[in-house]
Structure 1
């Protein structure tokens, strides 16, 4: 079997899909994207296709090594995301060629279902408690919210207390039987993190995600030492080498994104490295159905999986959602906040190629918002 072509599809709301075809009629799908830089990643995939066309798609590890190390310059979000989508598609081809789901090729399932959480907003405090209740009524047992809006380097007592009040409102609404995680998107400085996190402890958040920017990964030990709250990070770390200082700093939850961190191959290795440090895995995935399916395949075969993020209904997906690109959307029919074991070959989903072509004809130019403080300076979104 040989690879005959690679084709990328920019599809709403902000995704990039990849189709890899072979001379035996087996097609694999991947999701290589940096949100807001889809065209840049598509160009990287096109460059890497020079090596892949004509190659055996089942030599997944060898291709991963060549694509990540063979160009001399390596790493970073664009190259790692391009490789991630290619890697997903190659695993999809392999599973279909052997007639088994990818988790069987990774050693077989260690669980029968995977717990997932849903996003409830939180940039602004209005209605966040009601949003949390709605997700609980939909069957989810865990939710995640943004912890704040834009913050100053050292913010006011009112804003600082407001972060805790927002979490308190959600906790009061859903009770202690539901897990509530908070995502800071790196909006806290180290001094603000040490001030804010102890105020959140009485409400027992599931975890606090990315309290500081990834540039401060080596300083995460000061954050983890300042609080009993489990600290999570990893959506902007792209390899096991990037994760090493975070793990050594005492994080509790590793969050590689399977569309950024080298795909199934590297996410699997990051999970194993995290296990060595007694750290759980909760893959980041606010993306499309291919990335979610790939994440779940890894999760079914990973002993230290904690929970899986999924983006169904997230505010980014206003004009298109996960299920719009699937022939059979029932594969993501959540029951009691869980996804059942996926048994179809490959990634376990059937992509609606006709709908993908139609959406790609429209395309998108999604860009990350640019946030500024009240003094006009740039701040973390």
Structure 2
């Protein structure tokens, strides 16, 4: 079997672009993948074209060797643009291999370790009473782990000190309203500095939060070491990491307790499985990042089925947060959520299929940006 074509589709799906990749073979088998680098899809599409130039004509079954060739056969190795391109191709190659062997992808990864995949529910609102109501709806629908947040995350100017005071009050109310049995977290999307993150946590009684996601930027592990000395809430870090090497200090120094592996950013199944095994050696649970479309979700579910150290997978299908996009009409098969858990994928490969004619007729790529935030003094700050 030989690869005959690798085609990226960058299409607008209602509120953002989605970059889906199809890999074809000379035996009629094909695979689907997805890139995770949102808002920079054209850069990733360009990288995919570079890889396709030498991958066409190659054996799609040799996934590990092709991954190494993509990573190592260039002077400027790695980086999020390249590894998210590699991820989409790697996922598609696993889809092909599963179909060729007649097994779901998780069987290629060592087989199943669980019968269903638990999720944490994403719940957002800009009013505290509405947030509490939405959180109760999610708990009543079966979720025992929630990540709470705010709906309007593009408001600018943005002042972190003012915001942490408000959000701390919301989290205290949420814990009081939902009781001690529900696991609660918040994602600060690396908006804070070390002292701001410490101040936020110190405003809440101990036991309010079970995890704090991405409180500060990740470029400096030393900064996370400093923050760890100031607070005792478990960290959920790593959705933006693009390799095992970027994870290295956070695992070896045990700076994270929940590894937010994004299979569509880190290089697909090939790299994600290595990071998960490394985490297992340090008793770090994996909490996969899953913010994209059905291809990402299906790949994340297969990955989660096959690893022993899973906590929860990110899920945007809570009662008041279902992210219904134009993409829903494209997929004839996709991962199924029952209650708060994804079901074991059935059938060979990824278990996802796409109407390629409908995909080709989708609204084309649009230039759009993640929010560009400024502080009151006019300086730029993190989104």
List aligned pairs for 1:282-321, cutoff 5 A.
282-312=287-317, 317=323, 319-320=325-326
Contact 1:287 1:310 in 2 (8 A): no
Partner of 2:365: 363
Partner of 1:213: 217
List aligned pairs for 1:271-290, cutoff 5 A.
271-290=276-295
Matched, 1:226 2:205: no
Deviates more, 1:172-181 or 1:234-243: 172-181
Matched, 1:10 2:5: no
Contact 2:36 2:292 in 1 (8 A): no
Deviates more, 1:108-117 or 1:344-353: 344-353
Q: Output the CA distance in 1 between the equivalents of 2:54 and 2:305.
A: 31
Q: Output the CA distance in 1 between the equivalents of 2:302 and 2:310.
A: 11
Partner of 2:102: 99
Partner of 1:351: 354
Partner of 2:118: 115
Contact 1:141 1:336 in 2 (8 A): no
Q: Output the CA distance in 2 between the equivalents of 1:135 and 1:10.
A: 33
Contact 1:234 1:254 in 2 (8 A): yes
- 1:71-128 CA-partner distances (Å, limit 9, x unpaired): 1211111001000100000001010110001110111011111101221225665622
Partner of 2:93: 90
Contact 1:184 1:209 in 2 (8 A): yes
Q: Output the CA distance in 2 between the equivalents of 1:249 and 1:292.
A: 27
Matched, 1:32 2:28: no
Contact 1:33 1:41 in 2 (8 A): no
Q: Output the CA distance in 1 between the equivalents of 2:204 and 2:191.
A: 16
1:10 Cα offset (Å): 1.5
Q: Output the CA distance in 2 between the equivalents of 1:59 and 1:230.
A: 38
1:222 Cα offset (Å): 2.0
Partner of 1:376: 378
Secondary structure of residue in 2 paired with 1:127: helix
Partner of 1:141: 144
1:316 Cα offset (Å): 9.9
Contact 2:32 2:91 in 1 (8 A): yes
TM-score normalised by the chain length of structure 2: 0.91
Q: Could you tell me which of 236, 242, 245 is aligned with 1:241?
A: 245
Q: Could you tell me which of 182, 187, 192 is aligned with 1:188?
A: 192
Q: Describe the shift of the 1:125–1:45 C-alpha distance in structure 2 as closer, same or farther (beyond 3 A).
A: farther
Q: Output the CA distance in 2 between the equivalents of 1:271 and 1:317.
A: 28
Q: Describe the shift of the 1:21–1:300 C-alpha distance in structure 2 as closer, same or farther (beyond 3 A).
A: same
Deviates more, 1:186-195 or 1:92-101: 186-195
Q: Output the CA distance in 1 between the equivalents of 2:322 and 2:76.
A: 33
Unaligned runs of 5+ in 2: none
Q: Describe the shift of the 1:138–1:119 C-alpha distance in structure 2 as closer, same or farther (beyond 3 A).
A: same
Q: Output the CA distance in 2 between the equivalents of 1:348 and 1:95.
A: 10
1:142 Cα offset (Å): 2.0
Q: Could you tell me which of 251, 256, 261 is aligned with 2:266?
A: 261
1:9 Cα offset (Å): 0.9
- 1:237-296 CA-partner distances (Å, limit 9, x unpaired): 111110111121431011121111011110111111111111110111100111111111
1:317 Cα offset (Å): 4.2
Unaligned runs of 5+ in 1: none
Contact 1:287 1:311 in 2 (8 A): no
Q: Could you tell me which of 257, 271, 275 is aligned with 1:270?
A: 275
Contact 1:35 1:367 in 2 (8 A): no
Contact 1:233 1:251 in 2 (8 A): yes
